Amino acid sequence: MILQKRVLLWSAAGVALAAMVQPAAAAPWERGFVVATYEYAFRYGGRAGFTRTGEIEPGSDCLHGSTVHFANDKNTEAAIRQPFRSQYEIEVIARPPGLDHVRSPDNTRFHIWNRAIAYRAWKRGIQTYVNPWAAEDPGQPEVTGKIATGFNLDKNPNTGGFVAEDGEKGIDHALYRAWGCDAPWRGDGNGTLHLRANDKMQGGLYTVVIRVSGNADPMNDDNATLEIGYSPDKITKNARGDVAADYSYRIVKSEQYTKLKARIRNGVVETQQVETLHAPRLAWFYDHAGDADFRKGRIRLVIGENGDATGLIGGYRNWREIYTENTFAQDGGQQGIREHEDHIALYYALKRNADGMPDPATGEKMGISSTYRITAKPAYVVDAQKPVGVTVIAAEEARKDAFLAIRANTIKSTLTRTVQDVPPGTTEASFPTLERVIQLLPSKAYYLTILDRPRYPDEAETIERAIKGNLPVAAPAPPPDKQVRNERAAGRVADARRP
């Protein structure tokens, strides 16, 4: 990509000056953008600039503050209090003895907790991130505020329960109500998972581009077109480390792409609402990057005087897909302990707040209204001279296959309420990392006896390699079956529907 001169993508140079002295003739024009930040449009109701170690304060959005799941041994002890565990088991899991014998006490405790919290069903042996319905709802603090960023997706001012910042009623953003108080998504621009996703995107994991075109005034055009899609070109940064303006990016017009009709008023682009809007989804690892489907989707883009843009992407997303994207980006226990979120609680919060995409046969709400926030820099969005698609990283494909497999099992489990196994290739329940980190723990044999984990054929070599410290983080995955291959080729897992 070559840095070009800083120009606005108007129909001709000097059109703004000409407009001051004579009416501008209609002429084709286009403007392009590369997305610089991409995150859930969760509103923060605390004080701007508030800082205190380890705390995100309560505010008008979350009167009780953020989630504190697994923040300490007491919280973990409460989470693992299942009928099949004795009081002694609970205590030694929450406060493992003998940590002074291991190289990394905190890391060892972390992985013991990880394995324990992955099995919290009514009986032993049920992995509860794949089968979240099999565990009791731990409770998730939900948003108490009445103001939200988003769209009135169903055109009904009496639904949704939120009011927009500009006073519009009927804002549908149930994902914000369900997850807006979850610790890693909450804060004044510093939610840890928002920061991680944006950092990975800007570091080259994936690129989102937008192109707006028309034939009238670029600031006021009733028949404009907006395209949003994936680009195989990595984001370019300037010398300050910020996303740079005016670089060229190719746009992929197959998967992760949508073309929408739009109307522009005073620089505000409002697209039509379409049945399905495809765009790249939030991701911080290759394995769970892919396509986000927004049903009844629409986009609003506000173009600033300096050429930068801010905007919203909204619609109903399959809430089971959102659950798997967040839970299995790494593994449920690892992210839960580190980020103080409980994915079982998040599952129930999504199910409780689902408000769209009713199943024709059962009436169950399969979707949840969601809005994502973006900022963007001016860019040259161009059609590729040769056909291009989504970038494939061969070394990471096994991890993607494992993600698609565990995603499919989880969706099947939650639809049918039939217990599903953990497929090979994932790190769920800290397998086989725990086998390695507890080697110096005096009571290692006891923990391996009382802590459930996934079971795989021919796993002895996997455990042996883990103990020697030579194991990649995941158990070896078998070749993907036909269904998983098809899902990967499509860029997403097919919409969940009851058989």
Mean pLDDT of the chain: 89
**Span 428-440, average pLDDT:** 93
Q: What is the pLDDT of residues 468-491, one digit of tens each?
A: 775 554 554 555 555 444 544 444
**Cβ atoms within 10 A of the Cβ of 288, count?**
21
Residue 4 has pLDDT above 60, yes or no: no
Residue 8 contacts residue 378 (beta carbons within 8 Å): yes
At 51-106, the pLDDT tens digits run 655 557 788 899 888 899 999 999 999 999 999 999 999 999 999 999 999 999 99
- What ranges do the domains of the chain cover? 29-54+141-383, 90-117+395-490
398-423 mean pLDDT: 97
For residue 16, which amino acid is it? A
**What's the one-letter identity of residue 86?**
S
Q: How far apart are CA 119 and CA 192, in angstroms?
A: 26
d(CA 326, CA 350): 12
Q: How far is residue 172's CA from residue 162's CA, in Å, rounded to a whole number?
A: 7
Number of neighbours of residue 431 by Cβ within 10 angstroms: 27
Q: Please name which of 175, 129, 176, 192 lies closest in space to residue 317, comparing C-alpha atoms.
A: 175
Q: What are the phi and psi torsion angles at 239 (to 5°)?
A: -65, -20
pLDDT of residue 412: 98
CA distance 434 to 419: 24
CA distance linking residue 437 with residue 84, whole number of Å: 25
CA distances (Å), 497 to each of 23, 82, 355, 367, in order?
54, 32, 16, 11
Q: Between vectors from CA 179 to CA 38 and to CA 120, what angle results, nearest 5°?
A: 125
pLDDT band at 188 (very low <50, low <70, confident <90, very high): confident
Q: Structure tokens of 302?
A: 């506000």
Own/partner pairs, 455-462, CB within 8 angstroms, 24+ separation: 456/424, 459/432, 462/432
- Quick: pLDDT tens for 262-294: 999 999 999 999 999 999 999 999 999 999 999
| pLDDT band, residue 9 (cuts 50/70/90) | very low
Interval 101-138: pLDDT, tens: 999 999 999 999 999 999 999 999 999 999 999 999 99
